[in-house]
A = this chain, B = another copy of it.
Amino acid sequence: MSLLVTGSIGIDTVEAPSGAVHETLGGSSIYFSYAASFFGPVQLVGVVGSDCPADFLKPLEDNPNIDLTGLEVRKGSKTFRWHGRYHEDVNQRDTVSVDLNVLAEAAPDIPDQFRDSQYVFLANTDPGLQLELLQQLDGPKLIVADTMDIWIRNHRGDLHKLTANLDGLVLNDSEARLMTGQPNIVLAGAQIAKSVRRFVVVKKGEHGCLLFADGKASAFPAWPSSDVVDPTGAGDSFAGAMMGYLAVADVSDTGSLHRAVAYGTVVASFTLEDFSLRKLYEISREDIDRRLAEFEELTSF
């Protein structure tokens, strides 16, 4: 079934212990789409400014599974920019600078031919904007969103309105604690799960994730990565693979959610092995399935 993602497109600068990249492709909708494209077609809705280099999105243009009809190049606006610096322990990072630019303006329109998309992912942005995007859609089957600390802190009302309209929510463990005031992450996730229709995924970075669905908590470790170059976009790749799997299989029962989370884990583990989307450009669906089988073996008992 059709899969649509709305989210950021960024010009990223990343410094990490193993090197650095300057003004490279990034943004939530980019990582999401590329990860989802291993499973099936994906429709990207996002905006860049007129400063965006002509060949910047070439890897996505060259990908037959990514439909860029919903890409808006907004004249006179500037593309979102982010500059991050990872610590020696790459689970820690500082934001050196962030320029919202076009992300602080109006959301893009969803093209008419995308409005009947059945699987929708609203990547992290102002929950008021996420609600506006939802209103442009024609009864999707499964709506999942991501959120983050600034919206939880400052836009709680809109966030509550949003979650009531969601099938699934994906967020970090610190965000789940912030949202509920509950230090036990299993209780926090279970509480948030009551505010959406179907499921919550609480991501814990190198510690894997928890899935809350059908009143139960399930736990998944991360792939044990010895080669972490740049974790940027790992969470968005996770969501892309998860939604890509669900949309193609056209399922959302709990067993399928488990499989989708495992695919998310595996694709995220590839993303962090190199800067930007470099590793994703190198791999195929076969590599993903091979690592999934290995992951299954490593975690079985």
List residues of chain A with CB under 8 Å of any chain B CB: 88-90, 183-187, 190, 204, 206-208, 210, 216-226, 228, 258-259, 261-262, 296, 298-301
In the complex, the answer to whether B220 meets A222 with C-beta atoms within 8 Å is no
Given contact pairs A89-B183, A217-B298, a sample of 20 additional A-B residue pairs in the complex whose CB atoms are under 8 Å apart: A90-B183, A90-B184, A184-B226, A184-B228, A186-B225, A186-B226, A187-B226, A207-B207, A207-B208, A210-B224, A217-B226, A218-B298, A219-B223, A219-B298, A258-B301, A259-B301, A262-B301, A296-B301, A299-B299, A300-B300
Oligomer: number of copies:
2
**Residues in B whose Cβ lies below 8 Å from that of A219:** 208, 221-224, 298-299
CA distance A156 to B32 in the complex (A): 46
Given A258-B300, A300-B258, A301-B259, do A208 and B221 touch, yes or no (CB 8 Å)? Answer: yes
Cβ of A184: which chain B residues have Cβ within 8 Å of it?
Answer: 90, 225-226, 228
- In the bound assembly, the distance between CA atoms of A300 and B292 in angstroms comes to 12
Complex-state Cα separation, A183 to B89, whole angstroms: 5
Given known A-B contacts A258-B300, A258-B301, A218 and B224 have beta carbons under 8 A apart: yes
**Chain B contacts of A259 at CB under 8 A?**
301
Set of chain B residues within 8 Å of A261, measured between Cβ atoms: 301
